[in-house]
Structure 1
Amino acid sequence: MARASIHWKGPQWYPSRVGLQLERNGPFLKDSINIQSLAVSSIITLYFTDLGQQVGWTTFFLTEYTGPLLIYLLFYIRLSTIYDQVESRKNFRHPVVHLACFCHCLHYIRHLLETLFVHKFSEGHTPLKNMIKGCAFYWGFTSWIAYYINHPRYTPPSFGHRQVSYAALAFLMCEAGNHFINVALAHQTNSGNKTCFPSPTYNPFTWLFLLVSCPNYTYEAGSWISFTVMTQTLPETDMERRHMILFFKSSSLVVGIFAFLMVIQMSLWAQKKHKLYLKRFYPEVRRKAAMIPIIF
C-alpha cells in the first residue's frame, strides 16, 4: 500500500523500485507485509530507498541464458567474420566439436525450459545492473569458449574417444540429475502450513539429497567439469608450444577457468542456502554438507 502511494505521488517511483525500511540500514520490507500491522502507534516512520531500475526474475534468467545459446551457435557455424573460411574448409571438424555444441545447447535449453515451466519465482525483482553483470559474465565466457572449441585448428582430447565418451556420459548424467533436483525443489511437500525439505524418491538422481542440501549445485558443477574434460585439447606443433600459443588456444584452459569460477560461485550460493535450510529444516539438514558430500 505504501509503495502504491509513493508511485501515485511520483510515477517514476514504480513499486518494484521502492525500498522501504523501518530503520536506517535495516532490512527492506517485503511486499506482503501490511504496514499498519507494524505500527505500534498512530505514527510510523518509513525510510525510502531508490533501488534503481528493476527487472523480474523470469526476464533476468531468460535473458541471461538465451545469450549463450545463440552466441555459441554463431561460432559453431564458423561465420566468415570470425574464422578464415579457407582454413575452415580445409581442416576436418572433429566429432567432439559437434558433441560439444550439442551438450552446450542442451545445457542452456534445459535452463530456459526450467525457467518457463519448472522454477517458481517470487514476485520480487532484482536490479537491472545485476542482469547486465550476469549477461556480461555468461555471454563473455561463452564467446571465449566457443571461439576455441570451434576454431579450425582445434585439436581433439589427448586420450581420444574414451575420454570424450566418459566425459559426455558424465555430463548427461549431471544434466539429468540437475533437472530432477529442480523438479523436486519445485514440488516440495507441505505438512500443514509448513514446507518440508525435499526427500529422496525412487529416482536415483534425487538420492544425493541424502548427502547434500543443494544437490542442484553439485550437478551443475559436475556438468561443467565434465565439459572441460570432454573438450580438452593439446597443442598441434612444437612451435606453438615454444611460443606459448597453447596458453591462449587451449579450450580446456578456457572451459576450466569458467568451470572453476562457476564452482566457486555455486559453493557460495550453496553455503548461503544451507544456512537458511538449517534455520528452517534443522533436523533434516544438520548432518548434510552444503554442496560437496563430506567436504562442505
Structure 2
Amino acid sequence: MCMACWRGVARRDPCKAAMSSRISFFEVEILDCKTMRQLCFFDKVEPHLTVNDVKLMFHKCYPQWYPARQSIRLDPKGRSLKDEEILQDLPVGTTATLYFRDLGPQIGWTMVFLTEYAGPLFVYFLFYFRMPFFYGLAKAFTSSSHSVVHLACCCHSFHYIKRLIETIFVHRFSHGTMPLRSIVKNCFYYWGFAAWLAYYINHPLYTPPSYGKKQICLAMIMFLICETGNFSIHVALSNLRQDGLRSRRIPFPTRNPFTWLFFFVSCPNYTYEVGSWISFTVMTQCVPVGLFTLIGFIQMTIWAKEKHYRYLKEFKDYPRLRMSIIPFLL
C-alpha cells in the first residue's frame, strides 16, 4: 500500500490504522525435556524470528549450551525443530512452550569426515610397509611378491583420498555438526576394519585370487567405474545446494552418464559405494573385506531407505520407478 492510500485509511478509521500497525509479540518459555523445569522465559519475542534465533537467545542465558548442542522441540519426545523454522508458523499460540534437550558436545561434519577417512589411510600403510610389531622382525619392512597386494594398496588409498577430497571440496552439509560420541564409534568402525583387512591382505602368507590376473583386472575395472560413479553422484548432489539453501530437492540425472542411475534409485552414491567394495572383495579374495562390504551394504541400505521414504513423503511428484539402492529390487 502506498503512503497516500495509508494516510487515507488512517483519516477514515484511525482505530483500524493503529491496530494494523501494532506488532503482536510472542512469549516463549523453554522447559527441560527431562525434568520439565523452566530454564528461561522470553517476552516480547518478534513472531518472524527463527528457531535458530531462539537458540541464540537461549545461548546467552546458558553459554555452555551453544546452538549446535541444542535440540528445541514442541514436544518432549518429539522431533527437533529445524533452525530455519519461523516462530509464527509453528502450531503454537502467542505463548509458546518449547522443550530443550542437550545433544552433548558437537563436532563439525568436515572434521568428522577428515578424521574418519584419514585414519584408514594411515592404518593401512602401517601393514603395507610391514611394521615390525605386526609380522615380526624377520618380515619387517619387506615387500610382497604379489602384484595384487600393491594394487590393493593403491585402490584402498585412492578410495580414501577421494573421500578426503570430496569432504574438502565437494560435500555441502545440511547439518553443521555431529555428536562427539558418534565420531568415536565411527572411527572405531573405519579404523578397526581398515586394520583387520590390511593385516590379511599384506600378510606374508597371503595368496592371490583363484582366477589370477583375469579376476584382478575385471575387479579393477569395476572398482574404477564405481569410484567414478560415486564421485559423479556426490558432485551432482552438491550442485543442488549451490545457492546455499538447505531445503531438499529431487535429484535428477544430468548429462554425465554416471548420474543416469538416478533413473532407477534414490541413492546411487550408495549403490556405487557398495559396488566399489564388492570389486575390492573380488580383487583381493579376502574374507575380512567381504565382511566389511556386507556390513557396509546393510548400513547403507538402511540410510538409503530412510532417505527414499523422506523423498516420497516430501514430494508428491517423486518418480515412482525409483528404488532405494538396488534398481528394481531394493
Q: Name the TM-score, length of structure 1 as normaliser.
A: 0.86
1:181 aligns to what?
233
Residue-by-residue CA offset, 1:190-243 (whole Å, 9 max, x unaligned): 9xx9865233233221121111111111000000011001001xxxxxxxxxxx
Q: 1:91 to 1:100 in 2, by over 3 A?
A: closer
1:274 equivalent to 2:308? Answer yes
Distance 1:67 1:3 in 2: 34
Q: Which moved more, 1:214-223 or 1:37-46?
A: 37-46
1:61 equivalent to 2:95? Answer no
Q: 1:284 to 1:10 in 2, by over 3 A?
A: closer
1:260 equivalent to 2:312? Answer no
2:259 aligns to what?
206
2:122 aligns to what?
70
Q: Which has the higher Rg, Structure 1 or Structure 2? A: 2
Q: As a proportion of its length, which structure holds more helix? A: 1
What residue identity is the alignment partner of 1:18?
Answer: Q
1:15 aligns to what?
67
1:285 maps to which of 311, 314, 319: 319
Q: 1:140 to 1:24 in 2, by over 3 A?
A: same
1:231 equivalent to 2:265? Answer no
1:244 aligns to what?
none
Distance 2:144 2:73 in 1: 62
Is the Cα–Cα contact under 8 Å of residues 64 and 134 in structure 1 kept in the other structure? yes
Deviation at 1:263, TM superposition (A): 0.5
Q: Which moved more, 1:4-13 or 1:52-61?
A: 4-13
Aligned ranges 1:88-127 → 2 under 5 Å: 92-127=144-179
Deviation at 1:36, TM superposition (A): 5.3
Is the Cα–Cα contact under 8 Å of residues 277 and 285 in structure 1 kept in the other structure? no
Distance 2:88 2:56 in 1: 14
What root-mean-square deviation, in Å, do the aligned CA atoms of Structure 1 and Structure 2 show? 2.1
1:171 aligns to what?
223
Is the Cα–Cα contact under 8 Å of residues 88 and 152 in structure 1 kept in the other structure? no
1:46 maps to which of 90, 93, 98: 98
1:28 aligns to what?
80
Distance 1:282 1:228 in 2: 39
Higher relative contact order (CA 8 A, sep 6+): 1
Is the Cα–Cα contact under 8 Å of residues 265 and 323 in structure 2 kept in the other structure? yes
Q: Which runs of 5+ in 1 are unaligned?
A: 233-251
Deviation at 1:291, TM superposition (A): 0.7
SS in 1 for 2:71: strand
Q: Which moved more, 1:20-29 or 1:180-189?
A: 180-189
2:21 aligns to what?
none
Q: Which runs of 5+ in 2 are unaligned?
A: 1-52
Distance 2:314 2:62 in 1: 39
2:190 aligns to what?
138
Deviation at 1:42, TM superposition (A): 3.6
Distance 1:86 1:263 in 2: 38
Q: Which moved more, 1:91-100 or 1:36-45?
A: 36-45
Q: Name the TM-score, length of structure 2 as normaliser.
A: 0.78
Q: 1:99 to 1:4 in 2, by over 3 A?
A: same
